[in-house]
Amino acid sequence: MAKNSTIVHLEVGEPLKIAMQSLVDRGLFGTMSDVIRDGIRHVLLEYNVTPPGKPPGNAGVI
């Protein structure tokens, strides 16, 4: 786990789980956790939300 990380438990429906697993199976992501992190990152960028302590507009650090 990365430094300053928090575990968040998440429940998803079976269709969403199957869709996420298909991305992993195709080699686009290493794990379903990677799919979820990438989705969260995209939402934060779309809404122009920058985590505390990170420079605004720097997608590489989110």
- The answer to the question of residue 8 being in a domain is no
Number of structural domains in the chain = 1
| In a domain? residue 56 | yes
For residue 7, is it within any domain? no
Q: Going residue by residue through the chain (62 aa), what tens digit of pLDDT does each one get?
A: 667 788 999 999 999 999 999 999 999 999 999 999 999 999 988 998 887 777 766 555 55
Q: Evaluate whether 62 touches 39 at the Cβ level (below 8 Å).
A: no
In a domain, 4, yes or no: no
Which has the closest alpha carbon to 36: 58, 60, 57, 16?
A: 16
pLDDT of residue 1: 61
In a domain, 20, yes or no: yes
1-11 tens-digit pLDDT: 667 788 999 99
> Which structural domain, as residue segments, surrounds residue 50?
14-61
Give 10's contacts (C-beta < 8 A, 6+ positions apart). Answer: 36
- DSSP symbol at 12: -
